[in-house]
C-alpha cells in the first residue's frame, strides 16, 4: 500500500474522446482479442462482451492483440449481472513460460455492495497489490460514484494515461491520480476474477491515442 501522504488527488474534469476515438470492440465478435490465464468464458451477447466465471478457475483475461498502447484516453461502460470482482488491465504485460500470466496496472471494478467503494482505483495485478487505493477522506465522492440502484447498473469508466501519469474517472467523478516509472506501454485486458460465480458485461469500448503536449 502507498503512504497516504504520497498520494496525489485527481481534480481534473473527465476527458472526452470524440469522433476520432477508435473502437476496441466491433460489437459483433471478438476479433482483435485473445484470452489469457484461466478458463472463464468470454463471448459476444447483444452487442456487449460478456464474461462468465468458471468456478475455481484462475483469473481470466480477454486481452487486445495489440500490445503497445502507451498514451491514450480509454472509455467504456461495464456492469455486473452476477456480482464478482473485476477490472480492466491497462499497459499490461505477460510473464511465464506460456505468456499467460497477466500482470500490471488494473483499474478496479468491484461491487458497491462490497462496502468500500474502491472502483476506479488502480491495483497492481500480480505485481505488488494496490498502487492507488481509494481510501482518503478526499475520495468520499469517488467512493459514492458507483451506481447504487441495483447490481446490473451500467457504470462509465474513463482512463487517461500519458507518460508517467495515469488518471481515472468513474461516472464522471475523478478517482485516481497515479505516477509510474515502470508501466508505460502494453495491452488492455478485461478481467473475470477467480471465484465461485460472476457475470460481467462491457460495451462502448473506445480509445483515443494521445500525442504531443
- Determine contact, residues 84/209, Cβ cutoff 8 Å: no
- Phi and psi at residue 146, in whole multiples of 5°? -70, 140
Rounded Cα–Cα distance for residues 15 and 22 (Å)? 15
Torsion angle in degrees (nearest 10) through CA of 95, 41, 29, 172: -80
Q: What is the pLDDT of residue 149?
A: 52
Q: How confident is the model at residue 158 (pLDDT cuts 50, 70, 90)?
A: very high
pLDDT of residue 100: 74
Task: Please write the tens of the pLDDT for every residue from 37-82.
Answer: 999 999 999 999 999 999 999 999 999 999 999 999 999 999 999 9
Q: Can you give the pTM of this predicted structure?
A: 0.95
Alpha-carbon distance of 97 to 89, in angstroms, equals: 20
pLDDT one-digit tens code per residue, 84-133: 999 999 999 998 766 678 999 999 999 888 889 999 999 999 999 999 99
pLDDT score at 62: 97
Domain ranges across the chain: 4-209
Q: What gap in Å lies between CA 111 and CA 100, rounded to an integer?
A: 26
Task: Give me the sign of the Cα torsion angle 180, 76, 56, 64.
Answer: negative
Domain made up of 4-209: CATH architecture: Sandwich (2.60)
Amino acid at each position: 500500500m502507498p503512504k497516504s501522504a504520497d498520494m496525489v488527488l485527481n481534480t481534473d474534469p473527465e476527458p472526452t474522446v470524440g469522433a476520432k476515438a477508435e473502437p476496441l470492440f466491433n460489437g459483433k465478435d471478438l476479433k482483435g482479442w485473445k484470452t489469457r490465464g484461466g478458463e472463464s468464458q468470454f463471448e459476444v451477447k447483444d452487442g456487449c462482451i460478456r464474461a462468465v466465471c468458471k468456478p475455481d478457475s484462475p483469473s481470466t483475461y480477454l486481452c487486445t492483440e495489440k500490445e503497445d498502447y502507451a498514451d491514450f484516453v480509454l472509455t467504456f461502460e461495464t456492469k455486473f449481472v452476477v456480482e464478482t470482482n473485476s477490472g480492466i488491465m491497462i499497459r499490461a504485460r505477460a510473464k511465464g513460460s506460456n505468456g499467460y500470466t497477466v500482470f500490471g496496472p488494473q483499474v478496479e471494478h468491484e461491487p458497491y455492495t462490497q462496502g468500500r467503494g474502491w472502483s476506479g482505483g488502480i491495483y497492481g495485478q500480480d505485481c505488488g497489490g494496490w498502487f492507488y487505493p481509494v481510501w482518503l477522506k478526499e475520495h468520499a465522492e469517488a467512493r459514492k460514484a458507483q451506481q447504487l440502484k441495483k447490481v446490473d447498473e451500467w457504470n462509465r469508466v474513463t482512463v487517461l494515461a500519458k507518460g508517467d501519469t495515469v488518471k481515472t474517472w468513474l461516472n464522471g467523478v475523478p478517482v485516481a491520480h497515479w505516477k509510474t516509472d515502470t508501466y508505460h506501454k502494453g495491452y488492455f485486458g478485461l478481467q473475470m476474477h477467480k471465484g465461485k460465480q460472476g457475470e460481467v458485461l462491457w460495451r462502448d469500448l473506445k480509445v483515443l491515442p494521445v500525442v504531443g503536449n
